[in-house]
Amino acid sequence: MTKPGVVLGPEDAAVVAAARHFSFPPPRTTGADSCRKLAAQVDLGAAAVMGSWLDSMKASSPRHKLMAAPLAGAADAEHDDWMERHPSALERFDALAAAAKGKQVAVFLDYDGTLSPIVEDPDSAVMTDEMREAVRSVAARFPTAIVSGRCRDKVFGFVKLEELYYAGSHGMDIRGPTAADPNNPGKEARSVLCQPAAEFLPVIEEVYGALVGSVEAAIPGAKVENNKFCLSVHFRCVEEAEWGDLFDRVRAVLKDYPGLRLTQGRKVLEVRPMIKWDKGKALEFLLDALGYAERSDVFPIYIGDDRTDEDAFKVLRSRGQGAGILVSKFPKETTASFSLREPAEVRDFLRRLVDDDANAT
């Protein structure tokens, strides 16, 4: 088997080749030749690559004060300016509800940092019963999906709601509700299944074993998570002095796999197939599957906390529909229109969404 490799860069690079299996397929290119051409475009020296990645890894671990804390001077002005451009979705709920009035609302939710708090052990990122009930209530009124970098089965194990759509592995593994559709009583729910990176499964499994042996076994606190169609190398519990070694080890494993790419999230390095597919593409696929792709009377709401969610925020911006909501306690660059500070505020926003719809009917 030819080993597919990696394109290195803190931001997503151009991507290539996936099988055309679905009504909304990822774009194709010319296969291995395109992989080589893309790899050739990345001509960074080792020091430049290392410096760029370490800077990016540190940037994902901000030490400045949280939005809830007192701010002064320039920081205070920066905070006020950011909040003016990304106001609280709770404080501006009436305006958001007015924009959605008379339209079909659809809700898309990230999991980690959105429905559950970010925790040191990713296997312990459980959601509260109150959050689960809020999501269940939303799904009873609007089509609702979880869009996560996690393995779809693992996210379902956390959420435990059969009436939702689940898009795992950054949208590379999508399935529809497995229970009766609450929006169509008496009818069987459509089962949507989209796996544009299925051909990469053997390679992902191979790289997972190599990363566990090279990274997890050698660096205290490092954890490699197999998300089926992608891999996550968590460094939340790794001492900052070890980040350079961690990155070097990941890079050494991936150098022989030109069909994989390395991106970064919130204290995590992500290994993904080099196809043009992300959470934004997953959002477009789900809107199409729901029959909303060409409709102007649709109001998608996407809530997420990570840089991987920016692809979905950008889709909403380009469509001129709906609202992107960033979950963050500190100002950071985003294309989201609104903000919420933490999962507890996400829960409160979902409750208000349900109450507003109930009062309107």
Among 318, 329, 297, 349, smallest CA distance to 92 is for: 349
**In contact, 6 and 261? CB cutoff 8 Å:** yes
Structure tokens of 12? 């997503």
Measure Cα distances from 251 to 5, 247, 256, 261 in Å: 10, 6, 9, 10
Residue 6 sits at φ, ψ, to 5 deg, of: -135, 145
Structure tokens of 308? 């991987």
**Euclidean distance between CA atoms 14 and 38, whole angstroms:** 7
Alpha helices in the chain (DSSP H): 32-41, 46-59, 73-85, 93-100, 129-139, 152-159, 201-211, 243-254, 279-289, 310-319, 343-360
DSSP character string of 338-356: EEESSHHHHHHHHHHHHHH
**In contact, 84 and 334? CB cutoff 8 Å:** no
Write out the H or E segment, with its range, that includes residue 269.
strand 268-273
Choosing from 12, 80, 94, 110, the catalytic residue is 110
Residue 270 sits at φ, ψ, to 5 deg, of: -110, 130
Query: Where do we find the tokens 């898009």?
Result: 167
Active site residue 355: no
**In contact, 164 and 145? CB cutoff 8 Å:** yes
Among 269, 264, 212, smallest CA distance to 235 is for: 269
Burial class (CB in 10 A: 0-12, 13-18, 19+), 193: exposed
Q: How distant is the alpha carbon of residue 156 from its chain centre? A: 15
Which sequence positions are flagged as catalytic? 110
